[in-house]
Each structure stands twice: as structure tokens, then as C-alpha cells.
Amino acid sequence: MALATLVPGSSSIRCSFPVFAFCTMCNPNKLQPFISRRVGVIAGMSSLSLIIDGTMSNKTANSFDFRMTVPDQTAEEARSLIGDHAQALLDVKSLIESESWREAQRELRMNSAYLKQDIYTIIQSKEGSIRPLLRKLYADLFNNVTKLDYAARDKDVARAQECYINVAAVLNDLLSRI
């Protein structure tokens, strides 16, 4: 099945049916791009539809949740939950000591995510003059949590214990200021 045929005795090409990529219309020596409006609109609408389906769907597996605060969580609710979440984060010590690295990472990630939401909600409810100090402590705490996670991944007992001590110290300082 030929898309185009060469006419004998000439240098022109005759198209046997529509070609959407390139077609020689006027001058056989020049190739001119040819895309109809209909094809362009169909391609654009299908692309837009795929983008909307991919971004607006709540069914995507393992998708990231970029919200920092729980929409309905108030500062009072965060204050009531922060103690439990902080204690759950500190309970990771027993997993580190027993060298249960996978479980330690799982618990660390889950509990630090809840604690992060609570602390962020509380910081946002505080007055502006003390927020910079609280944000610095917040950053220090979760940087140390990340280092602890990496130490657990690498199964480095000494570094994990050092990071745990840093997490506990910064967490106690932060909780005393909140």
C-alpha cells in the first residue's frame, strides 16, 4: 500500500490519500507542513482531557499530598494531638535499639508526618513575632528526622542513636515553646 506515487517522466509526487505530516501542495521542491484544524483541535482536546483526568483524579495510587495542614484541623485539635504524635515519634527508639530498621523507618515516617501537620498548624496560629524561631526549630527537627531515616536505611547504629538524641532534644525544645 503506497502512500504516494511518483509520476513517470516528472519530478512531482502525487498523494493517493491525505497525509497529515507533510504534503507537497504548490511546489514539489518545498515541503510545507500541513495539519488541518480539525486534527489540531482533536489532538489538543484529547491532551487536555488526559491532563485533567490525571491531575484531578483521587484514584491515583501513591500520589503526593502537598497540603501541609489538615483542612478541618484547628490549632486546639493540633495541640490535643501533638503529645500523642510526639510520643509515638520518640517510641521509635526501641525499634532502633533492636535494629528493626524497616519497622523503624515505617513508624518514623508515619508518625513524623502527623507531627509535622500538627506543629505546622500550631505555628500558623501563633503571632508573627515568635514564628521565625518556631520555624527554625521545626526545620531542625525534621532535618534530624530525615537524617535518622537515612541512618536507619543505612543500618548505622551509631549515627541513628546520635540523630535520635538530636530529634529528642529539638522536639522537647519545640514543645516547651509551643
Q: What is the pLDDT of residue 61?
A: 46
Check whether residue 104 and residue 164 sit in a common domain: yes
DSSP per-residue letters across the chain: --SEEEPTTSS-EEESS--SSEE--S-TTS-EE---HHHHHHHHHHHHHHHHHHHH-TT-TT-----SS-TT--HHHHHHHHHHHHHHHHTHHHHHHTT-HHHHHHHHHHHHHHHHHHHHHHHHHS-TTTHHHHHHHHHHHHHHHHHHHHHHHHT-HHHHHHHHHHHHHHHHHHHHH-
Q: What is the pLDDT of residue 60?
A: 47
Q: Is residue 5 part of a domain?
A: no
Check whether residue 158 and residue 126 sit in a common domain: yes
Q: Is residue 62 part of a domain?
A: no
Q: Is residue 138 part of a domain?
A: yes
Check whether residue 50 and residue 83 sit in a common domain: no
- Split into its structural domains, the chain has a count of 2
Q: What is the pLDDT of residue 8?
A: 56
Would you give the end-to-end CA distance of the chain in angstroms? 77
Q: Is residue 25 part of a domain?
A: yes
Q: What is the pLDDT of residue 79?
A: 87
Check whether residue 16 and residue 96 sit in a common domain: no
Check whether residue 84 and residue 157 sit in a common domain: yes
Low-confidence ranges of the chain (pLDDT < 70): 1-36, 49, 52-71
Q: Is the separation of the CB atoms in 173 and 137 below 8 Å?
A: yes
Q: Is the separation of the CB atoms in 14 and 7 below 8 Å?
A: yes
Q: Is residue 4 part of a domain?
A: no
Domain extent for 135: 75-177
Cα–Cα distance for residue pair 174/172, rounded to 1 Å: 5
Check whether residue 33 and residue 98 sit in a common domain: no
Check whether residue 170 and residue 112 sit in a common domain: yes
Check whether residue 32 and residue 116 sit in a common domain: no
Q: Is residue 148 part of a domain?
A: yes
Q: What is the pLDDT of residue 10?
A: 53
Cα–Cα distance for residue pair 29/17, rounded to 1 Å: 20
Check whether residue 80 and residue 164 sit in a common domain: yes
Q: pLDDT tens, 20-46?
A: 455 545 555 554 455 567 777 777 777
> Which triple of cell numbers denotes residue 33?
507542513
Q: What is the pLDDT of residue 5?
A: 52
Check whether residue 110 and residue 50 sit in a common domain: no
